[in-house]
Chains A and B, each alone.
Chain A
Amino acid sequence: MRDAYIVQSIRTPGCKQNKGLFNQTRPEELISFIMKTAVERTPNLTPDHIDDVMLGCAFPEAEQGLNLGRVAAKMAGFPDKVSGATVNRFCASGLEAIALAFMRVRMGWSDITIGGGVESMSFVPMPGNMPRPHPEYARTNPEMYVSMGITAENVAARYNISREDQDNFAADSQAKAANARDNGLFTEIIPTPAYKYVKQADGTYTKEQFMVEHDDGIRVSTAEGLGKLRPAFSAGGVVTAGNSSQTTDGAAVSIIASKEKCDALGLKPMAKLVAYTTIGCKSDEMGVGPRYAIPKVLAQAGLTIADMDIIELNEAFASQALYCIRELKLEPYMDKINIHGGAIALGHPLGCTGAKLTATCLANLKEVNGRYGIVSMCVGGGMGAAAIFERL
Chain B
Amino acid sequence: MIRKVRQAAVIGSGIMGGGIAALLAGAGVKVQLLDIVPFDLKAEEKNDPTARNRLVKAGLDGALASFPSLFFNKKDAGLITIGNLEDDIETLSECDWIIEVVVENLGIKRDLFTKIEHVRKPGAIVSTNTSGIPLKDICEGFSKDFKSHFMGTHFFNPVRYMHLLELIPGADTLPEILEFIAAFGEKNLGKGIVWAKDTPNFVGNRIGIQGIGAIMKAMVEEGMTIPEVDAIFGPALGRPKTAIFKTVDLVGLDTVIHVCKNSYDLCPDDEQRAALILPEFIDKMAEKNLLGNKTQAGFYKTDLTPEWKKLRKVLNPSTMEYEDLVRPSFPCIDAAKKRTTLKEKVDCVLNGDDKGGKFAWKMAANSFQYAANRVPEIADTIIEIDNSMKWGYNFEMGPFEIWDAYGVKAAVDRMDKEGLDVPANVKQMLEKGNTCFYKLENGINYYYDFSSDAYKVVPTGKSRVSIAAAKGNNKTVMANKSASLVDIGDDVFCIEFHTKMNAINEEIMDSIGEALDYVDKNGVGLVIGNEAGGMPGAFSAGADLSFVSKLCHDKRYTDIEAFLKKGQAGIQRAKYSPFPIIAAPYGMVLGGGCEVCLGADRIVAHSELYMGLVEIGVGLLPAGGGTMNLWKKYITALPAKTAQDTDLAKFFVPAFMKIAMAAVSMSAAQARGNGFLGQADRIVFNRDNLIGEAKKEVLKMVDDGYIPPARQPLIVMGDAGQGMVDSEIFNLLNGGFMSEYDAFLAKRIAYVMSGGEVKTGSAIDEETLLKLERDAFVDFCKEEKTIARIDHMLKTGKPLRN
Contacts and interface: CB of A to CB of B under 8 A. Distances in A.
Interface of A: 129-135, 137-139, 142-147, 149-150, 153-154, 233-237
B736 A138 contact: no
Contacts of B661: none
A144 B731 CA distance: 11
B719 interface: yes
Contacts of A153: 734-735
B724 A132 contact: yes
A150 B735 contact: yes
Contact of B731 (A130, A146, A236): A146
Contacts of B547: none
A235 B734 CA distance: 9
Contact of B726 (A129, A130, A135, A147): A135
B518 interface: no
Residue of A135, A145, A147, A237 with most chain B CB atoms under a 10 A cut-off: A135
B377 to A, nearest CB: 58
Contacts of A147: 731
A132 to B, nearest CB: 5
Interface pairs A-B: 5 shortest CB-CB: A142-B730, A145-B727, A135-B719, A234-B735, A135-B723
Given A132-B649, A133-B726, A233-B735, 16 more contacts: A131-B724, A133-B723, A135-B720, A135-B723, A138-B724, A138-B726, A139-B747, A144-B727, A149-B731, A150-B735, A153-B734, A233-B731, A234-B734, A234-B736, A235-B737, A237-B735
A139 B719 CA distance: 11
Interface in B715-762: 719-720, 722-724, 726-727, 729-731, 734-737, 747, 760
Contacts of B723: 132-135, 137-139
B772 to A, nearest CB: 15
Interface string B600-627: 0000000000000000000000000000
B647 interface: yes
Contact of A138 (B722, B735, B737, B760): B722
Nearest to B719: A135
Nearest to A134: B723
Contacts of B724: 131-133, 138
Contacts of B731: 146-147, 149-150, 233
Contacts of A144: 727
A2 B735 CA distance: 50
Given A130-B647, A130-B649, A235 B720 contact: no
Contacts of A235: 735-737
B308 to A, nearest CB: 15
Contacts of A135: 719-720, 722-723, 726
B734 A139 contact: no
Residue of B719, B727, B736 with most chain A CB atoms under a 10 A cut-off: B727
A236 B730 contact: no
Interface residues of B toward A: which range? Answer: 10 to 19
A248 to B, nearest CB: 22
A146 B747 CA distance: 16
Contacts of A233: 731, 735
Nearest to A232: B735
A272 B160 CA distance: 70
A138 B751 CA distance: 13
B720 A132 contact: yes
A142 B726 CA distance: 7
Contacts of A132: 649, 720, 723-724, 760
Q: Interface residues of B: mostly helix, strand, loop or mixed?
A: helix
Contact of A139 (B649, B722, B737, B760): B722
A133 B747 CA distance: 14
Interface in B144-197: none
A283 to B, nearest CB: 11
A23 to B, nearest CB: 21
B716 to A, nearest CB: 13
13 contacts: A130-B649, A132-B724, A132-B760, A135-B720, A138-B726, A149-B731, A150-B730, A234-B734, A234-B735, A234-B736, A234-B737, A235-B737, A237-B735
A130 B760 CA distance: 13
A138 B727 contact: yes
A130 to B, nearest CB: 6
A129 B649 CA distance: 10
Given A130-B649, A133-B727, A146 B722 contact: no
Contacts of B736: 234-237
B319 to A, nearest CB: 41
A138 B724 CA distance: 8
Contacts of A134: 723
Nearest to B720: A132
A145 B726 CA distance: 10
Contacts of A139: 722-723, 726, 747
A233 B730 CA distance: 12
A144 B723 CA distance: 11
Interface string B464-493: 000000000000000000000000000000
Contacts of B737: 234-235
Nearest to B731: A147
Nearest to A157: B734
A132 B724 CA distance: 6
A129 B650 CA distance: 10
A374 B760 CA distance: 45
Contacts of B722: 135, 138-139
Contacts of A145: 727, 730
A87 to B, nearest CB: 25
B790 to A, nearest CB: 26
B727 A150 contact: no
Contacts of B726: 133, 135, 138-139, 142
Contacts of B747: 139
A250 B553 CA distance: 60
Nearest to A237: B735
Given A131-B724, A132-B724, A235-B737, A142 B729 contact: yes
Nearest to B757: A135
Interface in B752-788: 760
A137 B722 CA distance: 11
A154 B719 CA distance: 29
Given A132-B720, A133-B723, A138-B723, A150 B734 contact: yes
A234 B724 CA distance: 19
A150 B729 CA distance: 12
A137 B730 CA distance: 13
Contacts of A236: 736
A135 B724 CA distance: 7
A146 B734 contact: yes
B449 to A, nearest CB: 60
A133 B722 CA distance: 9
Contacts of A133: 723-724, 726-727
A147 B724 CA distance: 12
A130 B720 CA distance: 10
A163 to B, nearest CB: 16
Nearest to A144: B727
A151 to B, nearest CB: 9
Residue of A131, A132, A234, A237 with most chain B CB atoms under a 10 A cut-off: A132
B723 to A, nearest CB: 4
Residue of A133, A137, A154, A235 with most chain B CB atoms under a 10 A cut-off: A133
B236 to A, nearest CB: 41
A236 B736 CA distance: 8
Interface in B687-738: 719-720, 722-724, 726-727, 729-731, 734-737
A381 B219 CA distance: 71
A150 B760 CA distance: 28
Given A132-B720, A135-B720, A146 B735 contact: no
